[in-house]
Chains A and B, each alone.
Chain A
Amino acid sequence: MIHALDDAASRLGLYIGQPLANARAMCPDLKVFDADVVADAKTLSDIADWCDRFTPLVALDPPYGLFLDITGCAHLFGGEAALLQTLVRALARQGFAVSAAIAGTSVCARTLTRQASGTIVADGAEAAAISRFPVSALGAGEAITTGLRRAGLKTIGDVAARAPGEITARFGARFSTLLAHALGQGDAPINPRKPLPDYIVEKRFAEPIATDTMIAMTLSRLADTLIASMEKQGKGARRLEAAFFRTDGAVRAITVETGRPVTKSAVIDRLFRERLDALADPLDPGFGFDMVRLSASRTEIVVQEQRDLDANVHDNDELAALIDRIAARIGGKRVVVHLPQDTHIPEHAVLAAPAQHHLAVAMQAEWPARAESEPPLRPLRLFEKPEPIKVPFATVPDGPPHQFTWRRALHAVVRVEGPERIAMEWWRQDGRQLTRDYFRIEDAEGLRFWIFRDGLYEGEVFDADGKPVPPSWYVHGLFA
C-alpha cells in the first residue's frame, strides 16, 4: 500500500492508500521505499529543533506539519516574507519538499500550505484568501469532505456563505469551529513542544564558530546578558539550557540544573564548562555552529540574604555550589543526601534523594535518637540485597547458627545477640511477607555481621505439599 508519494507520482494518478500492485501496474518502473513511521516522526522532530532558531514556539502537526508562532519574531529576520523565504530555501537545500504559508490563524495557514505555498495573508484577510480553495484543503476528514461535496459545496467560500447553524447541524460543532478558525474568526492555540523559557538570549554568527575557546567565550558572554536581564526582575535561574545550532541543521541542547537560583554569570559559565567537559559524546561542531542560544527555562525570585556576617550562610552557599558543579559533571542523581523514612524495614529506613533539591530538607531532618550506652544496633554497611548464607544446622530450632558460609568462606560464630524480630508491614501489599529474626554475630576473626532468618521456624515457609521447609538465612549488613 502506498503510504506517501512525491509530486511526480501524484501527477501520474497514483494516490495514497492505493495497493502497491495496482500502482506498479500503472507505472512499472516505480521506485519504492519501505515506509518508516518512526524515522519520519524523528525527522519531523529534528526539523522542529532546527525551526527553534526562528521562534521558541514550535508545535508539531503530525504527520508532516509544523506550526511556528512567529508573533513578534518576524522583524528579526527582515520581515515575514524574508523569514518565509529563508526557511523554505534552507529546508529545500537539505532536500525537503516544503510548502509554507503565513496567516493570522494556524488553521488558515495550514489550509494555505495545501493549496498555495508561499502565501502571506494579512490580518483580517483570511476569509478572502481561502474562499476559492476546495473544501478538501481544510483537512476535516474524509467523511465531511465527501458530505460537503455531495451537498454541492465545492469551495470553502461556498461553505462559509451558509449560515453557521446549518453547518453545525449537518457536520457537527467541531467542523464549524475548524471552519471559523480557518476564516480567521478566533484561533485554536498551538501546542508548543517545549514550554516557553522565561529568559532567552542568543547569538548568531555570520561565520560559523567551531573552536572550544570561541564556544566557551560565546557562552560566557551570553551568560552575562542573561544574568543582566534576570537581575532587573530579581530572578535567578534554576534550570539553564544551551542550544547549539549547527550549520547543517543539527541542533544539540545541553541542560544544567542548580539547587538554588543562580545569579552570577561566572557560576553559569563554570557549570557549563563542567557539563561540556564530562559529556559522554562531546559536542561535535561539524562545520561549525551558526547560532548559540542560552535560555533560563526555570527561574525563581532570589531572596537576598545577609552574607558577610553569617558564616553558616556562606558555607551553605558554597556547599550548594559544589553540589551543583558535581551534579553537572556526573549527573544530579549521583549526588544524594539522606532522609529518614517512617518504617522499620531496614532497607527502606533511609531514602537517598538528589542533593540539589533536598539539601535544605535533609539538613533539618529529624533522625531517631540512638539508645545511650548501647552498642550500635544497626550495621554501618548494609547490603542493598541481603546475601544468602549457608547454615548447616542450629542447635535450637529457633536459635542462631553456630557457623555459616558466606561467599564461600566459613565463619565460626563466637558471640551472638538476638533475635530482634522484624515483622513485615502487613498493611502494604507488596511481595513476600516473611517475618525476619535478626542476630548480631561476631565470628572467630572479630568480624561482626547482621544476619537474619527469613521466615519463622516451621511456621511460614512451606513446600508444595504443605510441609514446613527450613527457612533460609541471609547476611544483611556488616558492623564496624
Chain B
Amino acid sequence: MSGARISALATLRGQIERIETAEVVHRQGRVALGHAEVDSALKGGLARAVIHEVFCEGRQGAAATGFVMGLAGRVSARRPLLWVRQDFSELETGALSMSGLAELGLDPRRVVMVRAADVESALRTSADALACDALGAVVLELWGETRQFDLVASRKLTLAAQSSGVTGLMLRMAAQPLPSTAETRWMLRTAHSPPGAMWSAWGAPRFDAELLRNRHGPCGRWIMEWKCDECQFSEPSAHPQPVAAAPAHRPDPAFQRRAG
C-alpha cells in the first residue's frame, strides 16, 4: 500500500516539477518596456507566455487600447498579433483604427482581427489562438462585466499561454478587477499632455498606469509615455517633444538603454 502511495507521490512531484520548469523556461522571456521604474518593478520587463490584464473605466477605453497596443507591440516582436473583440465594444469606443495603429509606430500588417459576436465565442477563440505558437500575442477585448470570464476561464487561458509561449493581453473596458490567474493587472487612465507652448507638438500617448497586482514584484503607479518613433514606453518627458526632426540614423534603442 505504502509503495503505491510513494509512487503516486512521485508522479505528483514529477508533474509539479514539470509545471514549474515550464513556467521557469518561459519566465526567461521578459521584454523591457522602456520605462526604468516599471521595468524594475516587473523584474526586467513584461513576462511572456502569461496573461496580463488591463482594466479601465468606460470612457478611458482609447487610452487603455493604446497601452495594450504598446504592450502587444513590445511583446510580440514582429510576429502576428490576433486581436479578438466583442461586437459591442466597437459601438462604445469605436473600432480599432489601423491608421491610428500605424501612427503609433506599430505595424498594421501583422494584425489579424477577429470580430466575435459575444463573450463566449470571444473567449473560445482566444483560448484557441493562445495555443497557436505562430502568434506573438493575443489580445482579448471585452466590454463590461462578464460572468463568463471567471477563474476557470482565466486558468484555461493561462495554461494555453504557458504551453505555447504566446502572451495573452486582456483589455477589460468598463469592468471591475476580479480575482484571476493573471501575472499582472493594470488600471489605466489617460494622463495630460505636458504643458508647453501653443505651437509645440503635444498629444503623444501618455498613460497614468497603476499596477494593481504583480505576482512577482511590487505594485505602483507611474506616468508612462509611448514613444511612437522608438516603439517603446518611456519616463514622462519634462519638456515637450523636440520640434526639430530627430536624425534619421538613430542608434539602436536597445543599445542606448544598455549604455545609459
Residue numbers of B with Cβ under 8 A of A are 59-63, 65-67, 69, 79-80, 82, 90, 93-105, 107-117, 121, 124-125, 128-129, 132-135, 189-193, 201-208, 226, 228-229, 241-242, 244-246, 248
Contact = CB atoms under 8 A, between A and B. Distances in A.
Contacts of A440: 203
A319 B80 contact: yes
Contacts of B125: 326, 329-330
Q: What are the nearest 3 A-B pairs in CB distance?
A: A480-B66, A478-B62, A318-B134
B99 A350 contact: yes
Interface string A108-133: 00000000000000000000000000
B108 A480 contact: no
A367 B228 contact: no
Contacts of B132: 318-319, 321-322
A346 B129 CA distance: 30
Given A325-B128, A372-B246, A375-B228, A338 B98 contact: yes
B102 A478 contact: no
A367 B105 CA distance: 11
A329 B124 CA distance: 10
B108 A338 contact: yes
Given A335-B114, A367-B109, A448-B62, 6 more contacts: A326-B125, A365-B109, A377-B103, A379-B97, A445-B190, A446-B208
B182 to A, nearest CB: 22
A168 interface: no
Interface residues of A, number: 60
Nearest to B118: A330
B100 A380 contact: yes
30 contacts: A315-B79, A321-B132, A322-B128, A322-B134, A322-B135, A326-B114, A329-B124, A335-B114, A337-B112, A338-B108, A350-B99, A359-B112, A362-B109, A367-B108, A373-B242, A375-B204, A378-B97, A378-B99, A378-B100, A379-B62, A379-B100, A381-B61, A381-B95, A409-B59, A442-B203, A445-B190, A477-B100, A478-B61, A480-B69, A480-B226
B172 to A, nearest CB: 16
B100 A376 contact: yes
Given A338-B98, A380-B62, A415 B193 contact: yes
Contacts of A250: none
A359 B133 CA distance: 18
Contact of A381 (B79, B94, B190): B94
Nearest to B246: A373
Interface in A127-176: none
B112 A448 contact: no
Nearest to B189: A446
Contacts of B99: 346, 349-350, 378, 382
Contacts of B93: 381, 478
B108 A447 contact: no
If over half of A's interface residues share one DSSP class (helix, strand or loop), that class is named, otherwise mixed; here it is: mixed
Contacts of B104: 376, 380, 480
Contacts of A376: 100, 103-104, 203-205, 228
A349 B135 CA distance: 26
A27 to B, nearest CB: 56
Given A373-B242, A375-B203, A383-B94, A442 B63 contact: no
Nearest to A370: B103
A380 B66 contact: yes
Contact of B62 (A316, A335, A479): A479
Of A317, A346, A374, A377, which is in contact with the most chain B CB atoms at under 10 Å from its CB? A374
Contacts of A355: 112
A347 B201 CA distance: 25
Nearest to A369: B102
A448 B124 contact: no
A399 to B, nearest CB: 13
Given A350-B98, A378-B100, A478-B93, A372 B229 contact: yes
A380 B97 contact: yes
B115 A336 contact: yes
Nearest to B227: A373
A448 B190 CA distance: 9
A381 B96 contact: yes
A314 interface: yes
A38 interface: no
A184 B133 CA distance: 63
A178 interface: no
Contacts of A365: 109
B97 A382 contact: yes
Nearest to B122: A330
A363 interface: yes
A380 B102 contact: no
B96 A330 contact: no
A480 to B, nearest CB: 2
Nearest to B100: A380
B113 A330 contact: no
Contacts of B192: 414, 442, 446
A319 B204 contact: no
A373 B66 CA distance: 18
Contacts of B134: 314-319, 322
B229 to A, nearest CB: 6
Contacts of B128: 322, 325-326
Nearest to B115: A334
A338 to B, nearest CB: 4
A33 B156 CA distance: 59
A190 to B, nearest CB: 41
B103 A378 contact: yes
Contact of B112 (A323, A349, A367, A382): A323
Contacts of A417: 202-203
Interface string A259-278: 00000000000000000001
Contacts of A315: 79-80, 134
A319 B135 contact: yes
A281 interface: no
A352 interface: yes
Contacts of B191: 446
A79 interface: no
B203 A479 contact: yes
Given A380-B66, A384-B94, A442-B203, A368 B102 contact: yes
A381 B58 CA distance: 13
B142 to A, nearest CB: 15
Contacts of A480: 62-63, 65-67, 69, 100, 104, 190, 205, 207, 226
Of A278, A338, A352, A381, which is in contact with the most chain B CB atoms at under 10 Å from its CB? A381
